[in-house]
Amino acid sequence: MCRVRLAACALCISLVVSACAYHRDNTQHYLNLPVERSQELLETPFFPQDAYQCGPAALATVLNAQGVEVSPQQLQALVYLPERKGSLQAEMLAAAAHYGRLAVRIPPSMDSLLLELSSGKPVVVLQNLGVGSLPVWHYAVAIGYDLEKDKIYSRSGKDRRRADGFRLFMKTWSRSNHWAMVVVSPGTVPVSATEKDYLAAASVLERRKNHNAALLAFEAGTRRWPDSYLAWAGTGNAAFSLSRFGEAEQAYRQALRLKPDRASIMNNLALTLAERGCRQTALSVMECALNRAPDDANLAATYNEIKAFSPGPEACQQLVCGALGPAVSE
């Protein structure tokens, strides 16, 4: 009898000890990251949410942190879906562009979350506070963490400063597949962002015809990813829309150096050249493009449009069709 009790006691103790050890393990892994041991973005504003309004409240929090003065009530019209009593992720990502900011999705991991917080960016996270079959979807804004104390701090619902252990936070966050986004001003690239997610965010500015902001954003993209032909093409598109044709030409040429077979970028370069008075060169670029994609209706239309331009001075840089490597010659 006594032995059984002893064994039970031993079992209890070992369980408690292992639980403690596990507890410490929660943050052990992150000590190797290039981040501060602890961080809390105390300046982050706080908007306690009204009924169901965590989407607008979370968005207002990160937009205000980026210098946009907007209230959750104003954002309701942009991100709240009355019948669903909530906000969709797609609209959370799309709405920041209304205010000339980029909402960038970050990679779904605690590493990215900590990197962003450590670099001073509050992070919107989507959590399922309930369980899979009984979901309680909720947007909160992570504003800090403490690796020693095993805490994540957030502005959440009606709590100005909520503190959760890493394990519990991960549990509710993992149910949204670790969905998270940060909001930045044009010219800044979030530290953890991937090229794809960043360019998608910059494209929203282009879509909304905020070309000044788009130009800043794509240019910043070329500095972070100099080999990204899409970042260069985006820079070209923004410059073109602002009628800055010289810059547009250089950006498109760089994009084609990196990706010589893109007929659609040739299309854009040709339109730029035509605007610069290089009709003949533009036509030769279009011939190159049409060789690659003979059935493309847009290319054919561009070709005809450029034909209608009047001939210019024609001291223009040629494009060597389909050349790999440097695609430019005199």
Residues numbered 34 to 53 that lie near other proteins (CB under 8 A) are 49-53
If one asks whether residue 242 binds other proteins (CB under 8 A), the answer comes out as: no
Distance from C-alpha of 10 to C-alpha of 8, rounded to nearest angstrom: 5
Taking phi first (over 0 means left), then psi (-120 to 50 degrees means alpha), and beta for anything else, what does residue 157 get? left
Provide the token pair at 205.
Answer: 């500015």
If one asks whether residue 223 binds other proteins (CB under 8 A), the answer comes out as: no
> Using CB under 8 A, which of 287, 305, 318, 322 touches other proteins?
305
In one letter, which amino acid is 85?
Answer: K
Tell me which residues in 62-121 interact with other proteins (CB under 8 A): 77-78, 80-95, 97-98
Of 177 and 310, CB closest to other proteins = 177
Alpha-carbon dihedral angle through residues 50, 52, 53, 59, given to the nearest 10 degrees:
140
Angle at 104 (CA atoms; ends 101, 110), nearest 5 degrees: 135
Closest separation in Å from C-beta 182 to other proteins: 16
Closest separation in Å from C-beta 90 to other proteins: 4
Stretch that binds other proteins, among 38-46, 104-112, 115-123, 266-274 (CB under 8 A): 266-274
Closest separation in Å from C-beta 299 to other proteins: 8
Closest separation in Å from C-beta 217 to other proteins: 10
Stretch that binds other proteins, among 113-121, 142-150, 229-237, 311-319 (CB under 8 A): 229-237
If one asks whether residue 230 binds other proteins (CB under 8 A), the answer comes out as: yes
Helix (H, G, I), strand (E, B) or coil at 168: helix
Dihedrals φ, ψ of 37, to 5°? Answer: -65, -35
Helix (H, G, I), strand (E, B) or coil at 209: coil
| x/- letters, 141..180, toward other proteins (CB under 8 A) | ---------------xx-x--x-x---xx-xx---x----
Of 6 and 16, CB closest to other proteins = 16
**Number of residues counted as binding other proteins (CB under 8 A):** 80
Of 41 and 293, CB closest to other proteins = 293
What is the end-to-end Cα distance of the chain in Å, rounded?
96
Closest separation in Å from C-beta 311 to other proteins: 19
Distance from C-alpha of 177 to C-alpha of 110, rounded to nearest angstrom: 11
Closest separation in Å from C-beta 206 to other proteins: 5
> Using CB under 8 A, which of 145, 166, 240, 245 touches other proteins?
240
91, 103 Cβ separation under 8 angstroms: no
If one asks whether residue 130 binds other proteins (CB under 8 A), the answer comes out as: yes
If one asks whether residue 327 binds other proteins (CB under 8 A), the answer comes out as: no
Neighbours of 293 (CB within 10 A): 17
> Using CB under 8 A, which of 41, 129, 320, 328 touches other proteins?
129
E strand or H helix at 68, and its extent? none
If one asks whether residue 206 binds other proteins (CB under 8 A), the answer comes out as: yes
> Using CB under 8 A, which of 27, 128, 222, 281 touches other proteins?
128
Of 204 and 316, CB closest to other proteins = 204
Neighbours of 284 (CB within 10 A): 17
Tell me which residues in 267-286 interact with other proteins (CB under 8 A): 267-268, 271
290, 296 Cβ separation under 8 angstroms: yes
Distance from C-alpha of 36 to C-alpha of 206, rounded to nearest angstrom: 35
Residue whose token pair is 């991937």: 194
Provide the token pair at 133.
Answer: 């079959």
If one asks whether residue 17 binds other proteins (CB under 8 A), the answer comes out as: no
Dihedrals φ, ψ of 235, to 5°? Answer: -60, -45
Helix (H, G, I), strand (E, B) or coil at 122: coil
